């Protein structure tokens, strides 16, 4: 019998080589959630992997886009009425492109690539989302009249403009500013179909990293441009060698410059984003912070204006509390439990789900066996991270767990199905089928390579699995459990160390998986997926 559970949760930058400085150069901040008695919102506003955020306000409603790179569907859009409580409403695309790297075909993948930081605009009644992809070498423009229902129209062109910001100027001209260190600008056609004929890129700022002082490290990137009271404000992030992630702001009277810059915030490594105002006249900077295995988590920082500059923070610091409505527990729509019950006209998958790379839609179903997610095998694989159709949701901090019940009756010899924590150093708990045998197995990639840590014979066709994540104070530890009756849980294997690694560039994800290593045509049926914001022990 299924008990319906709804869990709601609260709370890219391209650091590359310097991502690992975060543990030593940024002081830790404790934030264990929001108590019901609190009357103010708290940072982080979302304790989950929602990086490279771009926020717009249309009337009294805010919309936010973010990066999900190699996941499909991609370029997620969330909405809020208060900047604190967010809900998923759409994706700009189902699949970015039909290429081997995105399809996990022919030994290719696009972990850590796919589509990166987006720019979000609302102009003359239309919504514009733009992104870029190293995987395809293109810049993408998605437009719609209805941000929640779509459809989204897509145009793309080369090259791939790194960390660009789309900007509609008051004179009707349209620009993109992009680059790292040396920031450049290009003018687009009015319909955003490509570069405007007869124009060429210009250097906007020769070295945008200069205000941060120490040279070296990550150069200024992550551009987001705003116009306030007739002046242009360009937000960037830099990471000086030996320092921390830093917010830089340049200001100009004309978009072509000259530009003057300054360090706007250097605290906790909270950086990369832009400006947003509220209907009642408050200003905030939306930014994010690298927070280990859970990923890159959004923060809001109050802004006041002084001498024509936005001044971020409270005495230069990121506050723990905010003059905004309190978070309503866990945020609806960012993650959610799923009983896999679908009415006739309901979507096959709620928006909280994303596939690891492009799915093969012929090999999964929530209709063939009502109330179950069926994952079928259609090819053989030798590696979990190269197997298609792993269905994922974000993990959440400071603690979270996910559980499932899987029916393995129709699995074939060589099949492996179960529950995972997905990143480069992944962990799995599931059922492996041999020739006439079944075993519960825990696999750990703690060393960077998968190792079968524990194997237990299984003499029934259904088994429960659970994965727990502890991100408190950056413990970044995962644990796996199994149960034969859904009541008594048994720890299996070893704790999983969950570092944030460059090759995947994404916070850990819960995932349901089933793949074949010998024979195709088998399937596993998942009865439910239930996510909670607590674990059994600290």
pLDDT in tens, 446-493: 999 999 999 999 999 999 999 999 999 999 999 999 999 999 999 999
Half-sphere exposure of 260 (CA within 13 A, CB side): 4
Residue 142 CA to residue 144 CA, distance in Å, equals: 7
Torsions phi, psi of 211, nearest 5?
-60, -25
Residue 6 has pLDDT above 50, yes or no: no
pLDDT tens sequence across 106-123: 999 999 999 999 999 999
Domains of the chain from N-terminus onward:
19-322 (2.115.10.20), 354-532 (2.60.120.200)
List, as own/partner pairs, every contact residues 99-107 make where C-beta atoms lie below 8 angstroms and the sequence separation is at least 24, other chains included: 99/135, 99/136, 101/135, 102/70, 102/72, 102/135, 102/357, 102/358, 103/357, 103/358, 103/388, 104/356, 104/357, 104/358, 104/386, 104/387, 104/388, 107/386
pLDDT at 39: 73
| Mean pLDDT for the chain overall | 92
Report the pLDDT averaged over residues 191-214.
Answer: 93
What is the largest distance, in Å, between two alpha-carbon atoms of the chain? 76
**Which of 126, 129, 151 has the alpha carbon at shortest distance from 140?**
129
What is the pLDDT confidence band of residue 329, given thresholds at 50, 70 and 90? low
What confidence category does residue 28 fall into, taking pLDDT thresholds of 50, 70 and 90? very low
Per residue in 75-99, pLDDT (tens digit) is 999 999 999 999 999 999 999 999 9
Give the tens place of pLDDT for each residue, 36-62.
445 789 999 999 999 999 999 999 999
Which helix (H) or strand (E) covers residue 515, if one does? strand 509-516
Question: Looking at 206-322, which runs of residues are DSSP E strands?
Answer: 217-228, 231-240, 246-252, 260-265, 271-277, 283-290, 296-306, 309-312, 321-322
Mean pLDDT in residue range 182-205: 97
Nearest to 332 by CA among 4, 7, 49, 42: 7
Are 291 and 275 in contact, with CB atoms under 8 Å apart? Answer: no
Instruction: Average the pLDDT over 295-299 and give the result.
Output: 98
Task: Give yes or no for residue 22 having a pLDDT over 80.
Answer: no
Give the pTM: 0.92
């Amino acid at each position: 019998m299924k008990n319906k559970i709804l869990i709601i949760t609260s709370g890219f930058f391209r650091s590359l080589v310097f991502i690992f400085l975060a543990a030593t150069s940024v002081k830790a901040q404790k934030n264990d959630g929001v108590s019901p008695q609190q009357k103010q919102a708290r940072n982080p506003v979302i304790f989950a992997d929602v990086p490279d955020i771009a926020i717009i306000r249309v009337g009294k409603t805010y919309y936010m886009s973010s990066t999900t790179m190699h996941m499909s569907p991609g370029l997620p859009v969330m909405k809020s009425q208060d900047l604190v409580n967010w809900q998923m409403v759409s994706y700009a695309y189902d699949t970015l492109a039909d290429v081997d790297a995105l399809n996990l075909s022919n030994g290719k993948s696009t972990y850590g690539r796919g589509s990166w930081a987006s720019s979000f605009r609302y102009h003359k009644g239309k919504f514009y989302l733009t992104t870029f992809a190293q995987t395809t070498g293109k810049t993408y423009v998605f437009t719609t009249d209805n941000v929640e229902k779509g459809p989204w129209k897509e145009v793309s062109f080369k090259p791939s403009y790194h960390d660009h910001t789309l900007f509609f100027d008051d004179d009707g001209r349209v620009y993109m500013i992009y680059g790292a260190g040396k920031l450049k600008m290009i003018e687009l056609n009015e319909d955003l179909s490509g570069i405007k004929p007869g124009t060429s890129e210009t250097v906007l700022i020769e070295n945008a990293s200069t205000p941060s002082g120490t040279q070296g490290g990550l150069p200024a990137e992550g551009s987001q441009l705003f116009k306030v009271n007739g002046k242009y404000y360009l937000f960037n992030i830099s990471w000086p060698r030996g320092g921390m992630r830093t917010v830089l702001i340049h200001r100009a009277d004309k978009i072509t410059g000259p530009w003057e810059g300054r360090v706007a915030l250097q605290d906790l490594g909270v950086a990369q984003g832009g400006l947003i105002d509220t209907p009642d006249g408050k200003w905030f900077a939306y930014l994010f912070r690298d927070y280990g295995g859970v990923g890159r988590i959004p923060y809001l920082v109050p802004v006041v204006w002084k001498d024509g500059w936005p001044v971020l923070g409270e005495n230069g610091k990121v506050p723990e509390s905010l003059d905004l409505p309190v978070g309503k527990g866990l945020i609806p729509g960012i993650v959610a439990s799923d009983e896999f019950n679908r009415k006739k006209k309901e979507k096959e998958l709620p928006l909280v789900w994303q596939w690891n790379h492009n799915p093969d839609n012929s090999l999964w179903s929530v209709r063939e066996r009502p109330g179950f997610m069926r994952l079928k095998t259609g090819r053989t694989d030798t590696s979990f991270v190269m197997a298609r159709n792993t269905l994922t949701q974000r993990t959440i901090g400071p603690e979270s767990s996910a559980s499932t019940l899987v029916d393995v009756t129709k699995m074939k010899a060589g099949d492996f199905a179960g529950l995972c924590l997905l990143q480069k150093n992944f962990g799995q708990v599931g059922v492996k089928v041999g020739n006439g045998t079944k075993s519960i197995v825990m696999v750990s990639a703690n060393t960077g390579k998968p190792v079968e840590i524990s194997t237990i014979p299984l003499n029934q066709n259904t088994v429960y699995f659970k994965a727990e994540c502890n991100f408190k104070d950056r413990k970044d530890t995962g644990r796996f459990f199994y149960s034969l009756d859904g009541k008594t849980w048994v720890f299996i294997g070893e704790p999983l160390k969950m570092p944030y690694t460059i090759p995947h560039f994404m916070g850990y994800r819960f995932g349901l998986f089933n793949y074949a290593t010998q024979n195709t045509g088998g399937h596993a049926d998942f009865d439910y997926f239930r996510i909670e914001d607590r674990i059994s022990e600290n």
